[in-house]
């Protein structure tokens, strides 16, 4: 099937300026942009000046956030012979005493070791330093963790599972062990010891500065002609090292999309948001913005597009960026028309400033273009750990090598055109192009699979019945909504219903904690309310564990049934 864009969307996409993109990227990537630093402020000032010159209405906000910055780290293998291993420490890991921590080591690889194996030891793990892995090994009793990256350079990471700045109760959930990582030849030396069954004892020393800082947050707005709702395009400014790809190129794309839309008549408004605290505060900026602007976002934000690390050299894979079923068709349309690739999309997950799920705002994209898993620039750490659909964002991701030469001007232009087209479609269409029939169909499919897996261990038939009723109603509603796209009176009613459907369904499909809190930076399964129900398939049905799981499963079933019913009744009340 050949996909095409309408004349106005095509014009916007084709107007993207490669020269402006590269100029803005070079300017932003002049500075190492640590969260809350003077250098980051200079980048914010440059971005704001360019947006004002383009005709957007800007607002620079400030807020407090808990920020963590590594200072120094050392790893010394002591027995059976001494070896100094270059390494780095990570955001939100703890500092060691001045003399470091010395303990027996144990190689855990990628396994989930028992407490008997790990307790009191330094755990040596393969791959990236991820928050879930640190939490797992810390819980098992490790006194520290050493990660062996697979790529030539060690990747900067953040190891807290807390989303945004912590509450008093969450302060105790921050990591309580030191964490370091090494890579390349140094990691190979450690692996050689492990292969020879001679890990012995080791000492790690780490200093991490974790403190509350004052952060900037910039928004820029354009008004629509039909109502006061808006589409949000957001990305972070703070960086690991110079961060030309992550996230200077994405910031340049945001500025270019704003410039082009300022020259275009839009049905609904458009807002850009530039965060700090992404890299060093676990999405602290976007989380603060959601918490402090909750009512406005709930009432007015029609859709959210996130942008991170686009335009990388050799990043040719555009089929797997984040989406929801209701937003997938927009991705299919723009990627198919502009690149010829068949976009399938990946379920929106717990990364990339996806702080808007609790409110119920439809989401599309995050990091758009990736490397093929076997590509020459691919990250072996990405490909091995499965945190990306392919080879991730390049071996230079989160390293000092993320410099301007790692961007391909043609790829950056391609990605900018995709974002410009997607945003234009969402802003210009009289009726929001959101398909909740596709959402309902996915729910039905997931519930049928769960029902078959559970057998008679737990009954989800009420959920399935309501999902099938929602599917019938939403499918007809979507069909009728498309036919009403030229009727502005009806379009307003349809748009309000579409936004309210998101507020009802997205929190129950993508969160565990609901609308007013933020889940940890850990994977959220499909049908989150039925997580415990699914676990019943794998335990003894007469065990105490099963009985406790049923308590949670019944509550989750109630939550899901109520949301599905409410969504269906909303459609039936609205009609078209």
Q: What is the pLDDT of residues 33-61, one digit of tens each?
A: 999 999 999 999 999 999 999 999 999 99
pLDDT at 478: 86
Tell me if 206 sits within 8 A of 122, measured CB to CB.
no
Q: Which two tokens stand for residue 297?
A: 């976002």
Mean pLDDT of the chain: 94
Closest CA to 205 of 223, 243, 231, 178: 178
In this structure, how many other beta carbons lie within 10 angstroms of the beta carbon of residue 544? 9
Q: Which two tokens stand for residue 20?
A: 């402006």
* φ, ψ (nearest 5 deg) of residue 64: -90, 150
The pLDDT of residue 355 is above 60: yes
State the alpha helices, DSSP H only, in 207-327: 250-261, 278-281, 284-292, 294-300
Task: Give per-residue burial for 416-427: e unless 16+ CB within 10 Å, then b.
Answer: bbbbbbbbbbbb
Beta bridge mates, 180: 89, 146
* φ, ψ (nearest 5 deg) of residue 346: -125, 140
Q: State which H helix or E strand residue 275 sits in.
A: strand 269-275
Q: State which H helix or E strand residue 383 sits in.
A: helix 380-385
Work out whether the CA dihedral 563, 568, 571, 572 comes out positive or negative: negative
The pLDDT of residue 383 is above 80: no
pLDDT digits (tens, 9 = 90+) for 271-293: 999 999 999 999 999 999 999 99
Q: Per-residue pLDDT averaged across 388-400, rounded?
A: 87
The pLDDT of residue 318 is above 60: yes
Q: Per-residue pLDDT averaged across 372-394, rounded?
A: 80
Q: Per-residue pLDDT averaged across 113-130, rounded?
A: 93
In this structure, how many other beta carbons lie within 10 angstroms of the beta carbon of residue 525? 11
Query: 270 by DSSP, 3-state: which?
Result: strand
Please state, in angstroms and rounded to a whole number, the distance separating the CA atoms of residues 368 and 348: 12
Q: State which H helix or E strand residue 117 sits in.
A: helix 115-118
Please give the radius of gyration of the chain, using alpha carbons only, rounded to the nearest integer: 24
Please state, in angstroms and rounded to a whole number, the distance separating the CA atoms of residues 453 and 531: 13
Q: Per-residue pLDDT averaged across 234-256, rounded?
A: 97
For the whole model, what pTM was predicted? 0.95
List, as one string, the DSSP characters of 460-483: -HHHHHHHHHHHHHHHHHHHHHHH
Instruction: Give 114's pLDDT tier (boundaries 50, 70, 90).
Output: confident
Tell me if 356 sits within 8 A of 301, measured CB to CB.
yes
Tell me if 24 sits within 8 A of 251, measured CB to CB.
yes
DSSP 71: E
**Burial (CB count <10 Å: 0-12, 13-18, 19+), residue 572:** exposed
pLDDT at 384: 67
The pLDDT of residue 544 is above 90: yes
Tell me if 525 sits within 8 A of 260, measured CB to CB.
no
Q: Per-residue pLDDT averaged across 379-393, rounded?
A: 74
pLDDT at 81: 81
Q: Which residues contact 89 (CB under 8 A, 6 or more apart)?
A: 70, 71, 72, 73, 178, 179, 180, 181, 206, 207, 208
The pLDDT of residue 188 is above 70: yes
DSSP 406: G
pLDDT digits (tens, 9 = 90+) for 443-495: 999 999 999 999 999 999 999 999 999 999 998 898 877 776 555 568 889 99
DSSP 350: S
Instruction: Give 1's pLDDT tier (boundaries 50, 70, 90).
Output: very low
Closest CA to 266 of 118, 51, 424, 44: 424
The pLDDT of residue 389 is above 70: no
Q: Which two tokens stand for residue 387?
A: 């945190």
Please state, in angstroms and rounded to a whole number, the distance separating the CA atoms of residues 462 and 214: 49
The pLDDT of residue 199 is above 90: no
SS (H, E, C) 498-567: HHHHHHHHHHHHHCCCCCCCCCCCCCCCCCHHHHHHHHHHHCCCCCHHHHHHHHHHHHHHHHHHHHHHHH
The pLDDT of residue 198 is above 70: no
**Burial (CB count <10 Å: 0-12, 13-18, 19+), residue 444:** middle
Closest CA to 371 of 381, 363, 379: 379
């Amino acid at each position: 099937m050949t996909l095409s864009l309408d004349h106005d969307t095509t014009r916007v996409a084709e107007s993207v300026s490669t020269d402006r993109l590269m100029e803005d990227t070079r300017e932003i990537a002049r500075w190492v942009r640590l969260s809350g630093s003077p250098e980051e402020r200079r980048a914010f000032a440059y971005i704001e000046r360019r947006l004002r010159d383009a005709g957007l209405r800007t607002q620079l906000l400030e807020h407090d956030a808990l920020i963590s910055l590594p200072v120094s780290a050392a790893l010394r293998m002591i027995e059976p012979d001494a070896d100094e291993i270059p390494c780095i420490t990570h955001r939100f890991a703890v500092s060691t005493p001045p003399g470091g921590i010395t303990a027996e080591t144990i190689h855990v690889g990628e396994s989930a070791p028992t407490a008997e194996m790990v307790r009191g030891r330094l755990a040596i793990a393969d791959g990236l330093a991820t928050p879930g892995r640190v939490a797992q090994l810390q819980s098992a009793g490790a006194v520290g963790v050493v990660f062996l990256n697979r790529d030539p350079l060690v990747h900067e990471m953040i190891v807290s599972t807390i989303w945004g700045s912590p509450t008093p109760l969450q302060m105790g959930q921050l990591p309580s062990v030191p964490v370091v990582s090494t890579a390349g030849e140094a990691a190979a030396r450690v692996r050689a010891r492990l292969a020879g069954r001679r890990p012995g004892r080791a000492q790690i020393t780490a200093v991490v500065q974790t403190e509350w800082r004052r952060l900037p947050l910039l928004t820029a707005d354009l008004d629509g002609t039909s109502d006061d709702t808006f589409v949000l395009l957001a990305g972070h400014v703070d960086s690991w090292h110079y961060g030309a790809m992550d996230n200077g190129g994405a910031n340049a794309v945001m500025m270019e999309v704003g410039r082009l839309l300022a020259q275009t008549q839009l049905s609904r408004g458009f807002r850009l948001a530039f965060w700090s605290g992404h890299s060093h505060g676990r999405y602290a900026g976007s989380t603060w913005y959601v918490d402090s602007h909750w009512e406005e976002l709930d009432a007015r934000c029609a859709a959210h597009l996130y942008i991170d690390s686009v335009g990388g050299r050799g990043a040719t894979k555009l089929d797997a960026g984040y989406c929801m079923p209701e937003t997938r068709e927009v991705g299919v349309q723009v990627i198919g028309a502009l690149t010829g690739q068949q976009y399938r999309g990946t379920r929106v997950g717990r990364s990339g400033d996806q702080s808007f799920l609790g409110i119920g705002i439809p989401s599309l994209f995050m990091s758009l273009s990736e490397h093929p898993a076997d590509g020459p620039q691919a990250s072996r750490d990405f490909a091995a750990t499965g945190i990306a659909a392919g080879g991730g964002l390049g071996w230079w991701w989160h390293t000092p090598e993320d410099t301007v030469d790692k961007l391909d001007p043609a790829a950056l232009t391609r990605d900018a055109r995709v974002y410009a087209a997607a945003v234009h479609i969402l802003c210009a269409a009289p009726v929001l192009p959101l398909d909740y029939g596709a959402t309902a169909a996915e729910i039905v499919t997931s519930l049928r699979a769960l029902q078959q897996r559970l057998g008679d261990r737990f009954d989800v038939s009420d959920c399935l019945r309501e999902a099938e009723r929602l599917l019938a109603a939403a499918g007809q509603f979507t069909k009728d909504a498309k036919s009403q796209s030229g009727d502005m009176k009806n379009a307003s009613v349809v748009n309000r219903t579409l936004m309210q459907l998101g507020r009802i369904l997205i929190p129950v499909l993508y969160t565990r904690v609901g609308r007013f809190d933020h889940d940890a930076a850990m994977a959220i399964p499909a049908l989150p309310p039925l997580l415990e129900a699914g676990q019943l398939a794998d335990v003894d049905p007469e065990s105490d564990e099963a009985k406790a799981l049923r308590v949670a499963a019944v509550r989750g079933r109630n939550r899901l049934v109520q949301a599905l019913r409410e969504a269906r009744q909303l459609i039936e009340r609205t009609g078209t």
